[in-house]
Structure 1
Amino acid sequence: MTYAVIGGGNTGQAIAGYLRLKEESVKLYTRDPNKAQRISKQGLEVKGIYSGKVILEASTSMDEVISDAKFIIISTTAMGHETIVKQIKPILKDNQTIVFFPGYWGALECKRILGEHLIKNKNITVAETSAMPFVSIADNAGSVFINKIKHNVLISTLCEENPIALSFMNRFPQLILGNSVFETSLNNSNVVIHPPITLFNAARIDASEAFQFYTDGASPFSVNYVEKMDIERLQIASRLKVNTQSILTVLNEFYDTGYPTLYEALPGLFPTGLAPTTLDYRYMTEDIPFGLVPISELGKILGVETPYTDSIISAASLLMDSDYRKEGISFKGLTKESLLSMSVV
């Protein structure tokens, strides 16, 4: 099969490198012309769980990358989803599949931008996952290190008439089928973990202090707050009749572990994860507008109070002099009834 991977960051390089190791035809899109030239000329060294040097074509031309692709994998941050979908809209071909790794409500945003008419006429399959397939880091010098494979990662499509291809599922065996894109986005573990721990360590991060994000930054009180936010997420999912599990269960299933508490799981799973050195980082700029804001907005429509989630959104917006609610996913114009009809494929 032919794949286009959109996004030349950690996840994009890891996915593209993995696919090439599996002898798939892959093209990588990046906005950085120097990165595109380096990867195309020198290849990519995959290290860690998978290893090997691969030849990989990278380009700054979106048309060149996606023109022959059966599967278009979008691995940018959620902030880039709208721009990317608008960019590929006029050049999509019949029967292509778009997959957001991970979702962050990307499938619903894609539907809004492409429109039901184009999706139906071109027979476009739109899907998203609940998480990245790997934990990885690229050194931007020619190597990408894949140090963990996530298991039991959900994938869902917009409608049952356009299921994800079996060949895609076989290529990513860590994927399991979900029931709807509401299930995938509401099971994103990042959004209830990253923002509160970041906010409660804001002074350290703002001062660019070096510390381990989970080992040093996740205190009993901050993890307790995370769990209160998680209860709000679970209540919203229940109202939507969406299958969800606690964040602790999600993490244990991702990594095939059995930690009894979230306070033990976070440093146990990520003992060497350094904290960001700036607050202008995806833990705030992505996880809040595209993770917490949708949870809060769904709560308003469904009649579920979300005081812990709302407090993080408000405090972070004030701290960063930003309007994360305005920037985020709003579900404007939707009712409880329409949400219930959309939440099951």
Structure 2
Amino acid sequence: MAKRVLILGAGGVARGMAALLTKAGHVPMLWSPSGRSTQALRSLPLQVSGALDGALRIAIAQDLQTALHWAEVVVLAMPANGHRATLDAALPHLRADHGIIISAQLSLGGLYLHQALAARGVAALVMAWGTTVVLGRCLGEDGVQIGGLRARVEVAALPDTRSDEALALCHALFGDRFAKAESIVAIALGNLNPPVHMANALCNLTRIERGEVWANYDGITPTVARLIEGLDGERLALATAYGVRVRSVERHFRDTFALPEHLSLAEMAAQIHARRGGPPGPTDLSTRFITEDLPFGIVEIITLAQHIQHPTPLHEAGLTLFQCLCGRDFRAENTLLPALDFAAISGC
């Protein structure tokens, strides 16, 4: 049965999801906080290329309240920097019959929404994804290039008793690619992007600052890989301390890119670079490797560790170095974690 799906966001991932939903027979609508990212799409079809292709007419929201009243499902698909403000704007208009997807969760955004809804007495189903379904990149004002569709996405439902309902809804919308996560903490600690991106950005910082052209996986030399492995060891130990299981970075690379068991992390990165050439490494200090993954990924890991007095010295050192290098307080930029009731985490 076709679903009416409001997508909060209008970037590459949001546009890619709109295309995927349209192809599957659903009715998506895009909403942009400023309206700038959807202006052209009010009169032009969305030009889709890559893993999907075509010219698709996508509905554009006029205002958030009206769009939420129309929607059956709501998907948050924007950088984590905008999650708190967008969720707070949506909260007064969310209903118990809404299914709400956080794609993808950073800084326990699913828990923030669940707790905020509970405070209003609204028992909506919240679904926190470990990653995005589509790899999307905006092409101009009216286009999106879909680099691929993920074969597996883990999802944690809040409340956990509605996990089967959450999986069924995600399957109906985006296909048979979803698996139940152990908990929302498993989603949080299963996200490899923040530590991998922090290590790669730190060790290639001059390239980024100078705007040099370089390939992301080519930047993972044996020395950089050693730092990634050290960070990964801390993440895995923290997951064990919380009683959840997550994949190692080596297992993630092997499963994602079908690589043999005997290769080291650096050797896997070299093979991925040789096969694909890209994606390109960031060429500006405003990259999400720094502005999103540090305040909403690395700070999240450190905060979870501090909650149970578990050491993460490499993560803390990396954050401290970047705060000095960038002249920013990335801890203070996180607007989600300070609003959480951490006492509830053990029950999630």
Q: Same fold (TM over 0.5)?
A: yes
For residue 211 of structure 1, give the secondary structure of its aligned residue in structure 2: coil
* In the alignment, structure 1 residue 188 sits paired with structure 2 residue 191: yes
* In the alignment, structure 1 residue 159 sits paired with structure 2 residue 159: yes
**Number of residue pairs matched by the alignment:** 337
Q: Give runs of aligned pairs for residues 1-345 of structure 1, distance below 5 A.
A: 1-59=3-61, 61-104=63-106, 105-112=108-115, 114-118=116-120, 121-163=121-163, 164=166, 166-172=168-174, 173-215=176-218, 217-258=219-260, 260-267=263-270, 268=272, 271-328=277-334, 330=337, 338=343, 341-342=346-347, 345=348
Q: Which has the higher contact order (CA 8 A, sep 6+)?
A: 2
> What is the CA-CA distance between 1:52 and the residue it aligns to?
2.1
> What is the CA-CA distance between 1:252 and the residue it aligns to?
3.3
Does the aligned pair in 1 maintain the 2:299–2:331 contact within 8 Å? yes
Alpha-carbon distance in structure 1 between the residues aligned to 2:47 and 2:260: 33
1:111 partner amino acid? H
Alpha-carbon distance in structure 1 between the residues aligned to 2:311 and 2:66: 47
What is the TM-score with the length of structure 1 in the denominator?
A: 0.90
Identity %: 20
For residue 162 of structure 2, give the secondary structure of its aligned residue in structure 1: coil
Does the aligned pair in 2 maintain the 1:152–1:254 contact within 8 Å? no
Alpha-carbon distance in structure 1 between the residues aligned to 2:47 and 2:217: 29
For residue 7 of structure 2, give the secondary structure of its aligned residue in structure 1: strand
Alpha-carbon distance in structure 1 between the residues aligned to 2:207 and 2:257: 29
Does the aligned pair in 1 maintain the 2:111–2:340 contact within 8 Å? no
Alpha-carbon distance in structure 1 between the residues aligned to 2:141 and 2:332: 37
1:41-98 deviation line (CA, Å, top 9, x unaligned): 2111222222222110123521233222121110111111100111101111331011
When residues 205 and 11 of structure 1 are mapped into structure 2, their CA distance, relative to the original with a 3 A threshold, is same
Report the aligned-residue RMSD.
2.2
For residue 99 of structure 1, give the secondary structure of its aligned residue in structure 2: strand
1:6-26 deviation line (CA, Å, top 9, x unaligned): 111110000011111112011
1:263-319 deviation line (CA, Å, top 9, x unaligned): 233350663111222112211111111111121122223232211111110000111
Unaligned runs of 5+ in 2: none
